[in-house]
A and B are shown apart, each in its own frame.
Chain A
Amino acid sequence: MAIIANPKTIDLKDVQGMITRGYGKLYETAYFLLKVEDASKAKEWMKEVIPLIDSADVSDHSEKTIHLAFTPDGLSALGMSKENVEAFPVPFREGISTPDRNRILGDWGENNPEKWRWGGHQENFHILMIFHAKDKESIASFLAEEKDRLQKNGGLSLTREMRGYLRPDNKEAFGFHDGISQPVIKGSGRPGPENDIIQTGEFLMGYKNEHDQFPFSPLLLKEEGNTSLLHDDAAGSGKKDLGHNGTFMVFRQMQQHVDEFWDYMEQNSLNPDGSPNEEAKIKLAAKCVGRWPSGASLVNFPDKDPGGDLENDDFGYADKDPEGLRCPYGSHLRRNNPRDAFRWYDKKQSLKITRRHRIIRRGRTYELPPENGSDQGEIGLHFICFNANIELQFEFIQHAWANNNQMRHLHNDIDVIIGVPDELNPKGEHSGFTIQAEPVNQFIDNWKRFVTIRGGEYFFFPSISVINYLTTL
């Protein structure tokens, strides 16, 4: 796939940096959930921290940076009128946990939001503050400074603090190189593989998306605050646009059951005499994921992990693997981004459709100390993604692709990593995984939950000018 130029057309100075950047050199992360106690003080605090927000412009790159995201209650708490909060899309207004969304996302049983640590209406918070810094020392001093600032200001309370990190080898907790395939926003100035350069409006409101339409964006219905800070609606309604250069953020805390995962892989790949087979175990896990632990693609390296640190994303399925013999149809990778081979459609139609359902992922690993007498701590992923339309991007991928037990020609398979069967499906607990093979397919039965959702919420991730605007309400 050719790497093509992608001329800059977006005002990147107005876009929060995390949308275009993974901060691969800033290894440490922290998240504060803040509650507004005093709106005018909180706005003073926002004015102080706005200069610490990195924009998406390359010249604007700090060693430590923050980003801000908001819940609907947060917008209200800062003084936004009901009319204007109700101008936002329904999924954001309702939040990640409603009965229908729980079904769509598979948030039942162990994933039931009633059991979550945070989010899904478990606790009330308004602002998510995200920190990036290069190492443990710098994040510690950064957080201390910012806690100090919060305390002095007195307008906000810190309801929850979470920490995360990026491993230098970019591996997630199961041991696989993660975050390799990312869409590139058209107009961001960053060149990229042709098929990964996606219309701006899939990730930023105020621009056309892959349907050649402006995505739904919250337009100002009631005049309030300093509206000269706001862009006009690009779709031409004459209204001011609160969404312009902003997007929506999905945050899900995913506990990973690493031992169970590898145990399952081992048990399902034993030698005929019942002894473990290390090579077969890794191959099975790779088939489930769709990449080797190094990140190498199964399409390019079907038999063995070439090793090293291979950010190999230069592949499609249509030419080299139409039958799924290398990378199974049901693998995590192929399900969640079918690339140029969706259903039996030709490459053009497949790409047209998959390009309409992409997300930018910014997940990082977290670890928690042991509790309740257990000798092992918790490890997992703070999954974060950005999308302009939560329903057609994040929720679509989770429901139509990851949780769909009958995707393509599969009869009862779900995504081994993040899939959850329908709660009422009598065959749900027998969901499995099919490895397309010759002469006949191989089957792994009896799905286990290797990921448990422990928290999450939907956030509005506004432009920098809209964050400024919020301080004028």
Chain B
Amino acid sequence: MSTKQNAVSLQIPLKPDKVAEVTELLNTGGNPALKQTFFSFKKMPTVHFARWIVVPAGKGIDPSLVYAGNIDGDKQQHLKDLVDHLGDDLDQIFKYCQGYPDGGDTDTGNRLAFLKKHAIPTQGFYVGAPNRTVQQIHQEGELYDALRTFVKDNGSQWKNSKEAYTAIKGFVGSDPKWDWARKPYHTPKVNILATAFLALLLLVLLPVLIIFIILIHFFYELRAKPFGKTQSQIPLEHLAALKDQEDIIYQNQLSQVFELKGGLRKLGLKFFLWATSWGARNTFVMGQLMGTPTIHFARWVIIDGGKRFVFFSNFDGSFDEYLGDFVDNNGWGLNAIYGAAKGYPRTFFMFGRGSYRIAEFMGWGRLTQVPTPIWYSAYPWDGLQQIVDRSKLRMELFNSGELNDAQIKQMLRRI
């Protein structure tokens, strides 16, 4: 059995004069939402991560609220859950939104209809630990802790790995506590066919891509207007408001809002987001996205009818560590996607320069970042690699039959 995680995205236009009030309300929800009184996601056991942000007004665009939920199971069910568990809280938020019935008409049906009306598609979505429910992540954490304590208390008695394996197998034995782990389960494997298809598609498209890149160079890159600022050259208040919400728990969040360049850049963005999602679903299923191993969830959503797009991510470590990780591992991929965002460091034939100018790239990152007044994590102290590793441990002990010597050693190293 395995459940797929899904992305729910909503964009709801705000009454332009209510931005300050709704921001103040959302701030009571908290980032990180460790002790929430308002909009307590803890009531919904299917939510991995969730956030509400205020997207400021743009040129000819009203301000809006954007909601992002990374959830187990069905998206429609999630909207229903929101109404069932947090209906009153939704009402408090919605009263600042355009088109929500005022006064007594705010029954369950109205709320749900309003949410459905404002649901928008998610163009790019990556899951670091795919096919794991919130409950499973917690259970596998408990299993790890129990095994670690057992090994700590008994390890000195075991002469070799076989003895250790036998003892550990005996410890978990038939204890009904671990019944959930005995159910058949496997994490997704790399889909070789789908990966090959993507590679082949890129190969077939190569001539088109080359022309595309040349056009991008002459019509976009040469005319680009990068912000050209490092983190040390942007207003301290802006920086402080963002840093105020960071490095409090093991994980961090990033919410960025970009103005989207038009024409070919927009087309390119849609293609690369499609390819990223395809890769995320089929290729990058083992806990890293092109070498970056700290991302729990990431998504790209085109908003405001195509005038802007947002990037949301939940990751381990600091802002600097996260952006640096991407540049160290696949700066070219960043360039292909974010080259479509206004102000991005000037790219060179689509994949070159850009993020490799790391100081300017980080400055751009901060300038496009907005605060995340409500940010929730269901497992705020867990690293992505640890979640991935604990699933492997569980599978080796419960879902794999007898292990051979090499497999035993590998399993023991995880504890």
| A residues in contact (CB < 8 Å) with B | 88-90, 93-94, 98-100, 103-104, 211-213, 215-216, 323, 343, 345, 349, 352-353, 356, 391-392, 395-396, 399-400, 404-406, 408-409, 411, 422, 424-427, 436, 438-443, 445
Contacts and interface: CB of A to CB of B under 8 A. Distances in A.
B246 A356 contact: no
10 smallest beta-carbon distances between A and B, as pairs:
A406-B383, A100-B243, A439-B161, A440-B155, A89-B232, A103-B247, A439-B164, A443-B152, A90-B232, A400-B321
B412 A440 contact: yes
Contact of B414 (A89, A98, A356, A409): A409
B163 interface: yes
A406 B287 CA distance: 15
Nearest to A101: B243
Contacts of B155: 439-442
Q: Which of A88, A89, A94, A409 has the most CB of B within 10 A?
A: A409
Contacts of A93: 232
A127 B236 CA distance: 24
B317 interface: yes
Q: Which of A352, A406, A438 has the most CB of B within 10 A?
A: A406
B152 A99 contact: no
B415 interface: yes
Nearest to B159: A439
Interface of B: 34, 144, 148, 151-152, 155, 158-161, 163-164, 230-232, 236, 239-240, 243-244, 246-250, 291, 293, 316-318, 320-321, 324, 327-329, 356-359, 381-383, 385-386, 389, 409, 412-415
Contacts of A212: 356
Q: Which of A343, A391, A440 has the most CB of B within 10 A?
A: A440
B151 A441 contact: yes
B135 to A, nearest CB: 19
A215 B385 contact: no
B161 A438 contact: yes
B318 A399 contact: yes
Given A100-B244, A100-B246, A396 B359 contact: no
Given A100-B247, A213-B359, A440-B151, A391 B320 contact: yes
Contacts of B231: 90, 391
A425 B250 contact: yes
Contacts of B151: 440-441, 443
A425 B161 contact: no
Contacts of B415: 440-441
A445 B145 CA distance: 13
B137 to A, nearest CB: 14
Contacts of A400: 317-318, 321
Contacts of A409: 385-386, 389, 413-414
Contact of A215 (B158, B247, B359, B386): B359
Contacts of A356: 324, 328
A424 B251 CA distance: 12
Contacts of B249: 422, 424-425
Given A422-B248, A439-B159, 17 more contacts: A98-B243, A100-B243, A213-B357, A396-B321, A396-B324, A400-B321, A406-B385, A409-B386, A422-B250, A427-B381, A436-B413, A438-B409, A439-B160, A440-B412, A441-B155, A442-B152, A443-B152
A392 B244 contact: no
9 contacts: A98-B243, A216-B232, A349-B291, A353-B328, A406-B316, A406-B382, A436-B413, A439-B160, A439-B164
Contacts of B382: 406
Contacts of B318: 104, 396, 399-400
A281 to B, nearest CB: 17
B414 A406 contact: no
A442 B144 CA distance: 15
Given A392-B320, A439-B159, A406 B250 contact: yes
A440 B386 CA distance: 18
A59 to B, nearest CB: 35
B141 to A, nearest CB: 9
A408 B385 CA distance: 8
Contacts of B243: 98-100
Contacts of B163: 439
A216 B328 contact: no
A440 B164 contact: yes
Contacts of B232: 88-90, 93, 216
B241 to A, nearest CB: 11
B324 A392 contact: yes
B413 A323 contact: yes
Nearest to B242: A100
Contacts of B385: 406, 408-409
Contacts of A404: 317
A424 B34 CA distance: 10
Q: Which of A392, A411, A445 has the most CB of B within 10 A?
A: A411
A207 to B, nearest CB: 14
Contacts of A391: 231, 320
Nearest to A353: B328
B387 to A, nearest CB: 10
B152 A445 contact: yes
A405 B239 CA distance: 26
A443 B149 CA distance: 9
Contacts of A424: 34, 248-249
B239 A211 contact: no
Contact of A405 (B159, B244, B250, B321): B250
Contacts of A439: 155, 158-161, 163-164, 409, 412
A305 to B, nearest CB: 23
A396 B320 contact: yes
B129 to A, nearest CB: 14
Contact of B386 (A211, A406, A441, A443): A406
B248 A103 contact: yes
Contacts of B357: 213
Contact of A411 (B148, B159, B230, B236): B148
B234 to A, nearest CB: 9
Contacts of A89: 232
Nearest to B160: A439
Contacts of B356: 211-213
Nearest to B357: A213
Q: Which of B232, B320, B329 has the most CB of A within 10 A?
A: B232
B321 to A, nearest CB: 5
A99 B245 CA distance: 10
Given A352-B328, A396-B321, A439-B159, A425 B381 contact: yes
A447 to B, nearest CB: 15
Contacts of B246: 100, 103
B236 A90 contact: yes
Nearest to B293: A343
B145 to A, nearest CB: 9
Nearest to A344: B293
B232 to A, nearest CB: 4
A393 to B, nearest CB: 10
Nearest to A105: B247
A443 B247 contact: no
A101 to B, nearest CB: 9
A133 to B, nearest CB: 37
Q: Which of B34, B144, B163, B383 has the most CB of A within 10 A?
A: B383
A411 B231 CA distance: 32
A345 B291 CA distance: 9
Nearest to A437: B155
A411 B359 contact: no
Contacts of A88: 232
Contacts of A392: 320, 324
Nearest to B168: A440
A28 B365 CA distance: 45
A212 B412 CA distance: 41
A389 to B, nearest CB: 8
